[in-house]
Amino acid sequence: MAIKELLGTEIKELVRLKELLCLKKTLRFNAQGKFRILFLSDLHGGFGQSAQLAEAIEAMVAATAPDLVMLNGDTAGCGPIHVETAEQVREMLEIDTAPMTKRGIPWAHTFGNHDNNYGVSKEEQEEIYESFPFCLSKAGEASLPGVANYCLPILAHDSDKIAFNLWAMDSHDNVGRFAQRLGLPEKMKLKLDRMHGSSGYDTVRFEQIMWYYNTSKLLEAYNDAKIPGLMLMHIALPEHEIVAENRVACGYEGEQYEDVAFTCLNSGLFGACLERGDIKMILAGHDHYNDFIGTYGGIQLGYVGSLTYDGYQRDDLRGARVVELDESGAMNTQLIRLRSILGEKADKR
């Protein structure tokens, strides 16, 4: 490579590094080397949403005292409760993030398969999300498929060394749109009848995997050490089904009351995470009746849980996941049932 090209590459990498490390609010482990994340998913809110949803979010935030809150897709609903305008998106977010705002807690999000069902594009929504002072989400590189592919570095308690990375990925919506993007014939089916358990939903694309892989290497070089991380997306991977089918071997914990709606396309993301050796946990949402977690290939694969009142949900399952990180790289996780906090008041009225 010519010196000019080499310098140009180095400058681009430095610019990328600066963008990765630049957040509205620096995330840092506390003096005890701890950092707690509350994961909320499938709120299915929007114009006219149940008042119980705001009560549930308030109760979860108050009970868990997180350092960061992550919304894992389908924040907006797909039924009678949804968003059709930018004003409705803003109103929904003002209500649902009020518990974080009043406490000064930063939050971020991923998109689900229903967030843009009623015409407000993810690009337009992302601008609204990012306009909130405590929102740390980023649109991500424009060349990547999807919106809001980004990494949030969490720094050590006593230095600017990165101790942990939180990766957010857009898992899109359905494979039909994936096929359209590739210019495949409309009659060609990617989801076939004898593909056990898989769904017609989409998944993280190849370009996104390459972005994660290369960005992970870039951050490792900057940090002079491999950085443990957690990856978040809305739609489950095929490997989530492996955990469900091999409960004893995978140390399965939690509940499963519906099929794992994993994608029919195996993108290779799990293999890439294994190869890099930095991702310790991959969490999904999407399946309201599933909230299990287990370990396969040394990576924990699980669900965040669903907190919705305007989408389908069982009263006894309504909840959210808390992950407590240790600066050493260890992590503990727990699924918090809303009933354990509010009792019968948690049930849909």
Q: What is the CATH number of the domain that holds 306?
A: 3.60.21.10
Is the Cα dihedral 156, 41, 249, 195 positive or negative? Answer: negative
On the question of pLDDT at 176 being above 90, the answer is: no
Report pLDDT for 200. Answer: 86
Q: Which of 1, 13, 19, 38 is nearest to 232 (CA)?
A: 38
The DSSP result for 263-319, as a single string, is BSS--SHHHHHHHHT-EEEEEE---TTB--EEEETTEEEEE-----SSS---TTT-E
> Which neighbouring-strand residues pair with 167?
151, 231
Q: How many CB atoms are located within 10 Å of the residue 189 CB?
A: 15
Whether 128 and 120 have beta carbons less than 8 Å apart is answered as no
Percent of the residues in the chain that have a pLDDT greater than 90, as a whole number: 83
Residue whose token pair is 């195996």: 266
Mean pLDDT of 169-179: 89
Cα 257 to the center of its chain, rounded Å: 22
Which two structure tokens, joined as six digits, stand for 182?
Answer: 């590739």
Q: How many CB atoms are located within 10 Å of the residue 18 CB?
A: 9
Mean pLDDT of 162-166: 97
Higher pLDDT among residues 190 and 146, named by residue = 146
H-helix or E-strand spanning residue 270: helix 269-276
Distance (Å, whole) CA 315 – CA 93 = 24
User: Which is it for strands 229-232 and 279-284: parallel, antiparallel or unpaired?
Assistant: parallel
For the segment 24-63, what is each residue's pLDDT rounded down to a tens digit?
Answer: 999 999 999 999 999 999 999 999 999 999 999 999 999 9
Report pLDDT for 140. Answer: 96
Mean pLDDT of 234-250: 97
Whether 103 and 61 have beta carbons less than 8 Å apart is answered as yes
Distance (Å, whole) CA 4 – CA 241 = 48
For the segment 306-337, what is each residue's pLDDT rounded down to a tens digit?
Answer: 999 999 999 999 999 999 999 999 999 999 99
Mean pLDDT of 195-209: 88
Whether 114 and 42 have beta carbons less than 8 Å apart is answered as no
Which two structure tokens, joined as six digits, stand for 167?
Answer: 């990766």
Q: How many CB atoms are located within 10 Å of the residue 25 CB?
A: 13
Q: Whole domain around residue 67: which residue ranges?
A: 3-346
3-state helix, strand, coil in the chain (%, to 5): 30, 20, 45
Q: How confident is the model at residue 2 (pLDDT cuts 50, 70, 90)?
A: low
Q: 250: which residues sit within 8 A by CB, 6+ positions away?
A: 242, 243, 294, 295, 296
Report pLDDT for 60. Answer: 98
> Which neighbouring-strand residues pair with 151?
167
Distances in whole angstroms, Cα of residue 154 to Cα of each of 20, 64, 133, 181, 208: 11, 19, 18, 35, 21
Q: How confident is the model at residue 4 (pLDDT cuts 50, 70, 90)?
A: very low
On the question of pLDDT at 97 being above 80, the answer is: yes
Q: How confident is the model at residue 3 (pLDDT cuts 50, 70, 90)?
A: very low
Structural domains in the chain (count): 1
How high is the mean pLDDT of the chain?
93
Q: Which of 68-77, 185-194, 236-245, 316-325 has the lowest mean pLDDT?
A: 185-194
For the segment 104-136, what is each residue's pLDDT rounded down to a tens digit?
Answer: 999 999 999 999 989 899 999 999 999 999 999
Report pLDDT for 148. Answer: 98
Whether 198 and 238 have beta carbons less than 8 Å apart is answered as yes
For the segment 281-295, what is each residue's pLDDT rounded down to a tens digit?
Answer: 999 999 999 999 999
On the question of pLDDT at 6 being above 70, the answer is: no
Strand order of the β-sheet with 68-72 is 107-110, 68-72, 34-40, 319-326, 331-337
Q: 255: which residues sit within 8 A by CB, 6+ positions away?
A: 289, 290, 291, 292, 317
